[in-house]
Amino acid sequence: MIRKVWPLVVAAVSLGIDAYVLAGVLPRIADSLATTVGAIGLGVTAFTGAYALAGPLLTGPLAAGSARRGLLIALGVFNAGNLVTALAPNLGVFLGSRVVAGVGAGVLTAVATAAAAGMVAPGQRGRAIALVTFGLSTGTVAGVPLGMLIGEHLGWRWTMGLVVAVGALSMLAVALGPHPIPWPGGSPAAHLSSIAVPQVAVGTVLAFVLGLTSLGLYTYLLPMAEARGMEPWGFAFVWAWGVGGVAGSALIGRPIDAFGSHRLLPLIAAATAVSFAALALVGGPAAWLIAIAVWGAAGWAGVSTLQDALTRSRPERTASVVAFQMAAMYLGAAAGSAVGGALLDGGTDAGDLPAWSAAGGVVAVLLALLVVRLRARPAPREDAAPAACAA
């Protein structure tokens, strides 16, 4: 049943919190470690880079034969990195700890998604995958305000202590869980070769473009609001994106199972592009609240939909495909942030950034259509067989 997946959802929450929790306390960390905000910001780059490399390279070897072992190793590395971050005495230790945490996070995302998909009946696969994304989005949305609140009252080290506590709770839930955790199998070499599958390759590019246009643009949401004369609404816009994201990731699972990800993926990509266009073309807080909520909902719903589209006909490669997809998405987010900064430095008005994302959104729609066109059509028995290997 679908409730078997919840220990993995808790793990995803801890990962989501960790990905953005530092954003709200960067100045406090810089003061504590006697360095600059820019230097501390490199911790985000270190985490993202380690995440992108570790997922594709280490998921297969660490989880081979036992999903539970892979999850516990990933959570152990992730929690250890965050604990060292909380105790870091200087910048060097801080940056090194973010690399360690990123390695654990990269493996954790892929193994948790693959395990969730294998723990349920084929008719619930979309919901299981979406629940993991729901945990990730919930942690991401909660990370910044929680980090700021705890950092303000207790200090930034206690902010990281929250991440460690949630991570330890999820590790305990995985270790003591009564249900077997299936692993789809496949050698490490087979996992790495997944990127050579045409549909997976195109889907990975699509994930990069979605990260570039959606998460990259989110970095500049407050400057966009200020440029359009809606600075007092900035906090409401941030929450509209977050609530939309949590709702989208929570609700997309049943439609995936009922209608198929291949039907939904182009529609979700189109909804994201339309929301960007609306931000570029219309003004007023009400219109922006609606467009931003749609953007958040479609952006996060697209994560699970793309995962299902790329893996439903090849469940044995779910972990590796998700590893490549999420690595591409986070790299796209980093690239989007850099491109947005370069545009602003070059004289582009922050209010014009949604137009650039809308152009990228058109590319995403075309890539989504190509992913659908390249989809495999398995024999009826392929998608019905449960994963045979359990921890």
Residue ranges per structural domain of the chain:
2-379
User: What pLDDT is attached to residue 98?
Assistant: 94
Phi-psi region of 197 (alpha: psi -120 to 50; beta: other; left: phi over 0): beta
Q: Which H or E element spans position 348?
A: none
User: What pLDDT is attached to residue 96?
Assistant: 96
- Residue pair 357/276 in contact (Cβ under 8 Å)? The answer is yes
- Of 248, 10, 228, 243, the C-alpha closest to 145 is 243
As a whole number of angstroms, the distance between CA 266 and CA 272 comes to 10
* Exposure on the CB side of residue 350, measured as CA atoms within 13 A: 18
pTM: 0.84
Two structure tokens written together for 318: 């779910």
As a whole number of angstroms, the distance between CA 335 and CA 312 comes to 29
* Exposure on the CB side of residue 124, measured as CA atoms within 13 A: 15
User: What pLDDT is attached to residue 184?
Assistant: 62
Mean pLDDT per 10-residue segment, the chain (391 residues): 80 85 80 87 84 85 79 94 96 95 92 87 90 89 78 88 90 79 65 86 97 89 90 89 92 94 97 97 94 96 95 84 90 87 89 95 97 70 42 44
Two structure tokens written together for 167: 């991570």
User: What pLDDT is attached to residue 243?
Assistant: 92
User: What pLDDT is attached to residue 187?
Assistant: 59
User: What pLDDT is attached to residue 380?
Assistant: 43
- Residue pair 304/220 in contact (Cβ under 8 Å)? The answer is no
As a whole number of angstroms, the distance between CA 308 and CA 9 comes to 17
Residue 38 buriedness (CB in 10 A; 0-12 / 13-18 / 19+): exposed
- Residue pair 55/323 in contact (Cβ under 8 Å)? The answer is yes
| Secondary structure letter of residue 180 according to DSSP | -
User: How many degrees, rounded to 5, is the angle at CA 19 between CA 169 and CA 315?
Assistant: 75
Task: Point out which residues pair with 183 in neighbouring strands.
Answer: 389
Phi/psi of residue 186, nearest 5 degrees? 100, 140
Q: Is 225 helix (H, G, I), strand (E, B) or coil?
A: helix
User: What pLDDT is attached to residue 188?
Assistant: 61
Query: Dihedral through CA 44, CA 45, CA 46, CA 50, nearest 10?
Result: 110
CATH topology of domain 2-379: Growth Hormone; Chain: A; (1.20.1250)
User: What pLDDT is attached to residue 178?
Assistant: 62
User: How many degrees, rounded to 5, is the angle at CA 250 between CA 361 and CA 298?
Assistant: 10
User: What pLDDT is attached to residue 40?
Assistant: 84
Q: Which residues contact 74 (CB under 8 A, 6 or more apart)?
A: 62, 104, 105, 107, 108, 111
Task: Point out which residues pair with 390 in neighbouring strands.
Answer: 182
